[in-house]
Each structure stands twice: as C-alpha cells, then as structure tokens.
C-alpha cells in the first residue's frame, strides 16, 4: 500500500470517528443540558452535527475526499467506473473498512469523554417502516446533492451544502437522517441520545442501500454523465488537483 493510500484511509478513519464523536457527544450534552425538552435536544444535536460535518470535510477533503460514508464511496465507485474516475474496487473496500472502524471508535471516544462505559450497546429501538422510509429519503437526497455539486462544478461548496443538508434532514425525516451505514453501526455502541439498538441496525442499513439505489437512479436521469465528476466527490483531493484524476 502506498503512502498516499495510507493517508487516505487514515483520513477516512479519523474523519468518520470525529463525526460520530460529534453526533454522540452533542447528543449526550444536549440530554444533560435540556433533560425535559426533546425538541431542544434534537436542535442542539443537529446544529453541532451540521457544523462539525462541514468542518471535517474542510479538514480531510484534500486528503481523501472526505466521504466518511460507505454509500458515498460506493456511489463514487459505481458511477465513476466506466469513466475511469472515482474509487477503484480495492480502494472502495479500504474506505468502507476505515469508515466503519472509525465510526465505532468515535462512539467509544464520546462515551469516554462523558465518563461512560467505553462500549454500552444502545437499547433505543428504531425499527419501523416510517423510519426506514425516512432513511431512504435522507440517503437518496445526500447522494443526489453530492454528485450534482460535483457534476456542476460546485464541489467547493460541498462542506457547507452537505452540512446544511444533514442538519435540515435531522428535522424533515422521521429517522433524523442517519444516512450512513458506518455511522449507524457506530451509534449502536452508545446507549445515549444518539444511539440505535443493534437489532435496528440491519433495517437502517438496508434502507440506506435502497436510498443509494434511488439516488443513483435519479442521477442517471438528471445528470447522465455524473460519473465523469466522480473524482470531485466530496471535494477534490490534493493528488487529484495535481494529476487531474484519482489514482
């Protein structure tokens, strides 16, 4: 594995870990500061998550593209494979592994920061049809946003746009917009405001994969050549800027 590949995997691991730390940590803080107001808890959690996501994309985007999400990486590979852009299969596997491990590490870190058990599997059941539909909507919208920005030459605004979308989707989806299989798995490791019961994880992940398919289908209809911009997702890396493509 080259130094560049290691740097990318480290960026995906660290960025995903810090994203989940922000989600879980802000949820714990919100529940502590506003124990009797669930709406205020969600507001505090969503604002912190949206801001943190935008900042993390700015930090790690030049290194790995700042995917932090297996469905984004999968779409990047699938859409870019014919055009010779985006991730190759080997890199896709590495990205997904780094993201899942990072998400678990992020939950553990948040638990420890708030003096909780390092691993405490969530008891918060989130298994219901309306929640799965919410995940389909949230994930499809995220994929459509990211690739539409790349294809239209506006990848530079991705940090703000993706952060804003996720912050808004906390409120307009029934599931509060996990929209990320790695984050979903990671959040099973904390029995706090942001947690999800391990038994609810498969349903959410399946819904996210359906959302991936829906998002890719919409892209095929609206932006038929979206794959040509796969090397700009989420933001171009330094290596892309120098070489004009993802190695």
- Residue-wise pLDDT for 191-240, tens only, equals 999 999 999 999 999 999 999 999 999 999 999 999 898 888 887 776 65
Tokens in use for 139? 């994930």
Q: Name the nearest CA neighbour of 79 among 226, 187, 194, 208.
A: 226
64 vs 13: CA distance, rounded Å: 10
Q: Are 207 and 135 in contact (CB under 8 A)?
A: yes
Q: Please report, for residues 81, 123, 201, the alpha-carbon distance to residue 51 in angstroms, rounded to integers and kept in the order given.
A: 32, 27, 25
**Predicted TM-score of the model (pTM):** 0.94
Task: With CA atoms as reference, report the closest residue to 146 among 133, 157, 135.
Answer: 157
Q: What is the pLDDT of residue 2?
A: 83
CA 56 remoteness from chain centre: 11
What local confidence, expressed as pLDDT, does residue 114 receive? 98
What pLDDT digit, counting tens, does each position of 39-60 carry? 999 999 999 999 999 999 999 9
pLDDT score of 246: 43
The alpha carbon torsion through 81, 82, 83, 89 (nearest 10 deg) reads: 20
Task: For residue 194, give both structure tokens.
Answer: 């942001």
**Pick from 101, 99, 106, 49: nearest CA to 74:** 99
Q: Where are the alpha helices (DSSP H) in 152-245?
A: 158-172, 181-187, 201-222, 238-243
Q: Give the model's pLDDT for residue 247.
A: 39
**What is the distance between the alpha carbons of residues 154 and 14, in angstroms, rounded to a whole number?**
25
Among 45, 46, 55, smallest CA distance to 14 is for: 55
**How far is CA 129 from each of CA 4, 183, 200, rounded to the nearest angstrom?**
42, 20, 11
Regions of the chain with pLDDT less than 50: 244-247
Query: What pLDDT was estimated at residue 240?
Result: 57
Helices (H) and strands (E) in the chain, counts: 9, 0
């Amino acid at each position: 594995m080259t130094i560049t590949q290691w740097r990318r995997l480290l960026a995906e691991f660290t960025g995903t870990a810090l994203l989940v730390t922000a989600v879980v940590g802000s949820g714990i803080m919100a529940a502590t500061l506003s124990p009797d107001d669930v709406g205020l808890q969600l507001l505090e959690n969503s604002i912190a998550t949206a801001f943190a996501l935008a900042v993390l994309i700015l930090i790690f985007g030049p290194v790995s593209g700042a995917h932090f999400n297996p469905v984004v990486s999968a779409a990047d590979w699938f859409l870019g494979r014919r055009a010779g852009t985006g991730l190759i299969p080997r890199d896709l596997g590495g990205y997904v592994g780094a993201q899942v491990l990072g998400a678990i590490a992020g939950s553990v870190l948040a638990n420890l920061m708030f003096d909780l058990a390092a691993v405490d599997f969530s008891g918060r059941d989130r298994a219901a049809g309306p929640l799965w539909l919410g995940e389909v909507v949230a994930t499809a919208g995220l994929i459509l946003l990211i690739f539409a920005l790349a294809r239209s030459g506006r990848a530079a605004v991705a940090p703000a746009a993706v952060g804003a979308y996720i912050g808004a989707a906390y409120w307009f989806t029934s599931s509060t917009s996990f929209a990320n299989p790695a984050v979903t798995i990671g959040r099973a490791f904390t029995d706090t405001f942001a947690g999800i019961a391990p038994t609810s994880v498969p349903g959410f992940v399946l819904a996210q994969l359906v959302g991936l398919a829906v998002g890719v289908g919409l892209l095929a209809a609206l932006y038929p050549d979206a794959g040509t911009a796969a090397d700009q997702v989420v933001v171009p890396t330094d290596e892309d800027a120098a070489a004009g493509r993802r190695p």
